[in-house]
Amino acid sequence: MTSGERDRKATARARLRAGRRGAVMPEMADEVLLAVDGFAVPAGGTVCAYVASAAEPGSLAMVEALRSRGLRVLLPVVVGEALDWAAYDGRLRVGAFGLREPVGPPLGAEAVASAALVLVPALAVDHSGVRLGKGGGYYDRALRWAVGPVVGVVRDSEFVPSLPAEPHDVRVDAVLTPGRGLVRLPRL
């Protein structure tokens, strides 16, 4: 990636983070069930999700909505520079970076491959499926194992026409917003 692209990503991240300051983040509990239905996740199926931080769309209510549907929910656990996954049983602890994570045993990075649907946080997603994360590359490294559709969860204003991208960026298959619901994206 050129330094110009790196600068564009850094500028976009700064602008998006500034736009989130003080904003009320949507819970996304009802919307996440639209994604489950939209991708026909079977009863008892596995969904990878996340527990949103204060500056991310989503909530613990979103994760509980998945569980109340009878789905097995895997949540990320940061291990060094990688994401591992553990089953969510209703209990959380504080992990790396102050993130809430499940207390169950780690299942391995490749556990994401068992998911019929993968919900990921993002600062923004563009119309071609480019996902701009926080910049650590954790999800890009983890999503190489995903076989189910990957859905970026953002606010309506964070679904944008275009974003800078580099070859290792994993594109999402759809975006989920509070106002638009589930929007499937073209495969490029």
CATH of the domain at 126: 3.40.50.10420
How many domains does the chain divide into?
A: 1
Report the candidate in 145, 128, 154, 112 with the shortest Cα–Cα distance to residue 20: 154
Q: Measure the CA–CA gap between 118 and 147, rounded to whole angstroms.
A: 9
Does 188 reside within a domain? no
Residue 181: burial class (beta carbons within 10 Å; 0-12, 13-18, 19+): middle
Show the domain range for 142. 3-183
Reported as type and span, the H/E element at residue 176 is strand 174-177
Does 110 reside within a domain? yes
| Spatial contact of 82 and 109, defined as CB atoms under 8 Å apart | yes
Does 176 reside within a domain? yes
Does 58 reside within a domain? yes
pTM here?
0.92
Task: Give per-residue pLDDT as tens, 47-96.
Answer: 999 999 888 999 999 999 999 999 999 999 998 888 999 999 999 999 88
User: What one-letter code names the amino acid at 109?
Assistant: A
Q: Measure the CA–CA gap between 136 and 124, rounded to whole angstroms.
A: 15
Q: Measure the CA–CA gap between 157 and 169, rounded to whole angstroms.
A: 21
Does 157 reside within a domain? yes
Task: Give per-residue pLDDT as tens, 126-183.
Answer: 999 999 988 777 888 899 899 999 999 999 999 999 998 877 788 999 999 999 999 9
Does 33 reside within a domain? yes
What is the distance between the terminal CA atoms of the chain, rounded to a whole angstrom? 19
Does 96 reside within a domain? yes
Does 17 reside within a domain? yes
Q: Measure the CA–CA gap between 109 and 41, rounded to whole angstroms.
A: 21
Q: CA-CA distances (angstroms) from residue 145 to 65, 114, 125, 134?
A: 25, 9, 20, 20
